[in-house]
Amino acid sequence: MKNNIVLIGMPGVGKSTIGVIAAKQLGFQFVDADLVIQQQENRLLHEIIEQDGVDGFLAIENRVNASINAEHSVISTGGSVVYGAEAMEHLRKIGTVVYLKLSYPALSLRLKNLKDRGVVLREGQTLQDLYEERTPLYEKYADLVIDEEGLGIEETRELLEQAFR
């Protein structure tokens, strides 16, 4: 049953913030996939990355997201969820995937310290590299794209809610 809204996009685009508010407005539950990972692993995201490496984290993220069982929920995913084919197939089955899109210049202004955010960066990889690598994946999996360029959190939330009313 496809009665969930799945938010994907780069870190800093507002998936969690917009997701919580939209869930309240639409009468949905809210699921933060990153928190589900932390609960299941009993570790913080950055601890998983430090201890298991990037590939280990991605495998855990894929497994956890592929097992999310939700109904009438807004599901906010981690920015790296699109690397997991099983997770994305599952999320597309249970919901409408919405890509919150933001240009690289706007995104780089929002994101200060990537390490503290638990952003999955490989050795020597920059935010620009990550952006260019992930954008085609977000576009591939998205059922709906909301371009946040020049919009605030409230305007983005309104667009999201209008799409599902």
CATH code of the domain containing 95: 3.40.50.300
Can you give the pLDDT of all 165 residues of the chain as single tens digits?
579 999 999 998 999 999 999 999 999 999 999 999 999 999 999 899 999 999 999 999 999 999 999 999 999 999 999 999 999 999 999 999 999 999 999 998 888 766 666 677 788 888 899 999 999 999 999 999 999 999 988 899 899 988 888
d(CA 76, CA 90) in angstroms, rounded, equals 14
From residue 86, alpha-carbon distances to 77, 93, 141, 156, 164 in Å are 14, 11, 12, 28, 25
Residue 26: what are its φ and ψ, rounded to 5°?
Answer: -90, -5
Q: Which residue range is the domain that position 78 belongs to? A: 4-164
Q: Is the dihedral of CA 119, 33, 74, 143 positive or negative?
A: positive
On whether the CB atoms of residues 145 and 101 are closer than 8 A, the answer is yes
Q: What total of structural domains would you count in the chain?
A: 1
d(CA 6, CA 33) in angstroms, rounded, equals 10
Q: Is the dihedral of CA 116, 120, 124, 130 positive or negative?
A: negative
